[in-house]
Structure 1
Amino acid sequence: MNVVVRHQAEALAALGHTVDILTRRSSATLPDFVDLAPGVTLRFLDAGPAEPVAKGDHESFVDEFRARMSALGPWDVIHSHHWFSGMAALPLARLTGTPHVQSFHSIAAPESSPLSWGERPESPGRLAGEAWLAQQSDAVIAISEAEADTVLERLGGSADRLAIVPPGVDGTLFRPSVSPPSSPGQSHPLESGPRESGPRGYAIVAARLQPLKGLDLAIEAVAAVAEDLRPDLIIAGDASSDFDGYVDELRELAAARGIADGVRFVGPQSREDLATLLSGAQVVLVPSHSETYGLVALEGAASGVPVVAAAAGGLREAVIDSETGLVMQSRDPALWAAAIARIVSDPAFADRLSHAGRERAELLSWERSAAGLAAVYRALLHPDAAGRHQELAIA
């Protein structure tokens, strides 16, 4: 979500709009604001303690965030990302007569759904809050058709106030490597020393380290690949404070499957470092249980790397099955292993997926994404304002 918000904001500013991004202060050392780009200002608002807090506890800061937000502006449009921001912003938008746009990025499962994969219960107001936002906001922007269907069917949103604006990808940053991906017998950028079977190529998962992202399946799948074809597995991402001990569980799983020396946890990566890791991989794995889109799948495709993704939510739109990657209908590790092995062992097949993925990614720029947002914003404003540049708040 952070990547989408920042890139869309910068692309909107490039179109001539002025954008404030509002977020909760999570450290006492943060300034009041930072200019991210010409026309884009990131503002830190005091709401709750100035320290990182588990996502599920943010609901208690909504009223304070709204109070801080009310001292800023005015704006032509307020666009909320995630339900916490919407709960803070929609009442303020109503009070000031400002159009309110809502994006969710993730939507809670129904209360009747069993808690799976170690997920914590949702914060108390989320289910009702998301439905209220879907039904009362002036517009709802979904990132994929899958998310749009959820807004309509689960939240009771209205089709005439719903728009789909896919994300973009920076095709200059995320681009194919000048050298071919590592393969068995070749080293990779994170090789730290000799190993009994010799240096290998690698598969990569880039995600927040939490059960919803299905990282256990990535480990099980790589472990099931025949040893002569098996890539190492790079896991890039920050551990989630909501799931203490999860990384240890993953390490234990890798050890139990006999691939502990081939699984590397490299932590959160800068955008530049992530681009380097993606472009050097043999395959990008996206084994999430749920995704509204799956931006890393698009970034992998832009990097010219085949993607193997779960058939979950918007991933079925981010990856075109058998054209830009493989979409897995099953979570059986043996089937995922077969998909990985096919890509690793069949260069012609891998090249076909790589080229098609890159060609598609080149059509999905952040400029195109921002233009889609601006069209929604303009439709909400009075006709005499439709042609002018706007002051936008993104919370």
Structure 2
Amino acid sequence: MIYLKVLSLTNEFAEESFGGAGTAATGMIHMLDRLGIHQTVIVPRSDWTVPRWDLRGLQIKVLGLPRNSHYFGYLGMINVDAVCQTFPELRQEWDLIHCQAINFTPLAYTFSRGATPILYTVYSFLRKELGDRPEPELQAQFKIQEDLLMRCQRIHLISQSERNYLAERYPQYLSKTDVIPLGISSLPERWQPKSTNEFLYVGRLLDYKGIEDLILALSLVRQSGRQVHLNIIGKGPDYYEDHLNKLVQAKKLTSWIKFHGWQPSSELWRWMSQAAGLVVPSRREAYGLVALEGMTIGVPLIASKAGGLAELVSDSYALTFEPGNVRQLANSLRTAVDNPTLLRSLAAKGHEQALTLEWERLAPRYLRALTFINN
């Protein structure tokens, strides 16, 4: 067994998980734990007022830091002095620093001292995801990420699509890049739909997620006489949630589209298991962990061919459409409503594909990435 002592820095882990990155970080850390990797995890905790150590898994030491101004400052950047003064035991020899969020870069640099290698897992390129917007705060975050790309010793990307972006924008870093997909753990729910016409969206409510396209597509399907319902689970900025609600009202769909806000993972999986299909209409996507969760549960997928999502979801086990193409999305919804037998076949094939991405099957690739960096 290989002995490695890893410091893992992440914004989301276990209970402090709000989306795909948190689910992925949690699954990855537990998978490495089962491989015998000794990990110390530092993660913010929204519901704590004082920091606390916790033990998880086989040998995961977790330090939860309250999300307050003592530990986190401008742009959510970690206060290195506060952490080092309160927890001097963190100043030790690490074999690897695994950075999974840019607000931990000052801490990663401090503990690395230019000697300990840094592995950076990139869940998304911010300049790509946010459209290179000009706001000073966003531009500052873009530059922090680009500095980390330059200074880290290894970059873990989650899809070939993201590697293509890196090759176009930062080709100088290709030689230190590994592409390894995110995995999935076994989920307790299995697909048992309540109806053949009640579909589901799960994810953040942001413009590039394609929710407006989905609402417009549902309007077209309704005009064709089909009684289609849509449940939307997720949160977004207040202004955008208001915009989506007004669009639903303008299209006279308030009886057919319901917003349910944020839900914990157990509730998300229950909703997935009961839906006629899970719709992932993203215009941009680095990976698409929600789609993988749906495949694991066995719910049929209706998904765009956006970025990394196109690598995860195939025509052989999903109904697919071009990103942003409302008419194609509407046609996919009509096909789903009119062909329940086809949906069952796609669901079964999707579930089989999801099994190939269980964390245990990906473990050897992750172990090679971690050990390579120390050779």
TM class by smaller structure: 0.7 to 0.9
Q: 1:368 maps to which residue?
A: 361
Q: 1:34 maps to which residue?
A: 54
Q: Partners in 2 of 1:89 and 1:373 — Cα distance? A: 23
Q: Partners in 1 of 2:169 and 2:206 — Cα distance? A: 24
* Aligned residues of 2:119 and 2:154 also touching (Cα < 8 A): yes
Q: TM-score w.r.t. structure 1 length? A: 0.80
Q: Does residue 333 of structure 2 align to residue 316 of structure 1?
A: no
Q: Deviations over 1:183-221 (max 9, x none)?
A: 2xxxxxxxxxxxxxxxxx311111122223222222222
Q: Deviations over 1:306-325 (max 9, x none)?
A: 222222211111111x2121
How many Å apart are 1:36 and its aligned residue?
Answer: 3.5
Q: Partners in 2 of 1:63 and 1:51 — Cα distance? A: 8
Q: Does residue 228 of structure 2 align to residue 231 of structure 1?
A: yes
Q: 2:120 maps to which residue?
A: 102
Q: Partners in 2 of 1:223 and 1:326 — Cα distance? A: 19
What is the RMSD computed on CA atoms of the aligned residues?
A: 2.9
* Aligned residues of 1:47 and 1:64 also touching (Cα < 8 A): no
Q: Does residue 207 of structure 2 align to residue 211 of structure 1?
A: yes
Q: 2:7 maps to which residue?
A: none
Secondary structure of 1:182's aligned partner: coil
Q: Does residue 88 of structure 2 align to residue 58 of structure 1?
A: no
* Aligned residues of 2:217 and 2:327 also touching (Cα < 8 A): yes
How many Å apart are 1:160 and its aligned residue?
Answer: 2.7
Q: 1:267 maps to which residue?
A: 261
How many Å apart are 1:181 and its aligned residue?
Answer: 5.1
1:282-297 equivalences under 5 Å are 282-297=276-291
Q: Does residue 176 of structure 2 align to residue 161 of structure 1?
A: yes
* Aligned residues of 1:27 and 1:50 also touching (Cα < 8 A): no
Q: Partners in 1 of 2:130 and 2:153 — Cα distance? A: 29
Secondary structure of 1:158's aligned partner: helix
Of stretches 60-69 and 326-335 in structure 1, the one that deviates more from structure 2 is 60-69
**What percentage of aligned pairs have identical amino acids?**
24
Secondary structure of 2:222's aligned partner: coil
How many Å apart are 1:32 and its aligned residue?
Answer: 1.5
Of stretches 354-363 and 34-43 in structure 1, the one that deviates more from structure 2 is 34-43
Q: 1:43 maps to which residue?
A: 63
Opposite residue 371 of structure 1, the aligned amino acid is P
When residues 51 and 20 of structure 1 are mapped into structure 2, their CA distance, relative to the original with a 3 A threshold, is closer
Q: Partners in 1 of 2:256 and 2:58 — Cα distance? A: 44
Q: 1:72 maps to which residue?
A: 90
Q: 2:318 maps to which residue?
A: 325
Q: 1:22 maps to which residue?
A: 42
* Aligned residues of 2:199 and 2:229 also touching (Cα < 8 A): yes
Q: Partners in 2 of 1:171 and 1:5 — Cα distance? A: 15
Opposite residue 310 of structure 1, the aligned amino acid is S
Opposite residue 214 of structure 2, the aligned amino acid is A
1:135-284 equivalences under 5 Å are 135-174=150-189, 176-177=190-191, 179-180=192-193, 182-183=195-196, 201-226=197-222, 228-237=225-234, 239-240=235-236, 243-284=237-278
Q: Does residue 374 of structure 2 align to residue 354 of structure 1?
A: no
Higher helix content, 1 or 2: 2
Q: Deviations over 1:207-240 (max 9, x none)?
A: 1222232222222222221364342111112x24
Residue 6 (structure 1) aligned to one of 26, 42, 51: 26
How many Å apart are 1:63 and its aligned residue?
Answer: 4.8
Residue-pair matches, total = 352
When residues 111 and 353 of structure 1 are mapped into structure 2, their CA distance, relative to the original with a 3 A threshold, is closer
Q: 1:130 maps to which residue?
A: 145
Q: Partners in 2 of 1:112 and 1:232 — Cα distance? A: 30
Residue 345 (structure 1) aligned to one of 338, 361, 366: 338
Q: Partners in 1 of 2:364 and 2:347 — Cα distance? A: 27
Q: Partners in 2 of 1:349 and 1:219 — Cα distance? A: 23
Opposite residue 254 of structure 1, the aligned amino acid is V
When residues 42 and 222 of structure 1 are mapped into structure 2, their CA distance, relative to the original with a 3 A threshold, is farther
How many Å apart are 1:145 and its aligned residue?
Answer: 0.6
For structure 1, the 5+ residue unaligned runs are 184-200, 383-395
Q: 2:6 maps to which residue?
A: none
Opposite residue 287 of structure 2, the aligned amino acid is Y
Residue 336 (structure 1) aligned to one of 324, 329, 337: 329
How many Å apart are 1:27 and its aligned residue?
Answer: 4.2
How many Å apart are 1:135 and its aligned residue?
Answer: 2.7
Q: Partners in 2 of 1:99 and 1:379 — Cα distance? A: 11
Secondary structure of 1:44's aligned partner: strand
When residues 94 and 247 of structure 1 are mapped into structure 2, their CA distance, relative to the original with a 3 A threshold, is same
Q: Deviations over 1:117-165 (max 9, x none)?
A: xx96752323333232223211100011111222232133433311111
Q: 2:10 maps to which residue?
A: none
Q: TM-score w.r.t. structure 2 length? A: 0.83
Q: Deviations over 1:332-382 (max 9, x none)?
A: 322211111101211232122212111100111022334322211111224
Q: Partners in 2 of 1:111 and 1:267 — Cα distance? A: 22
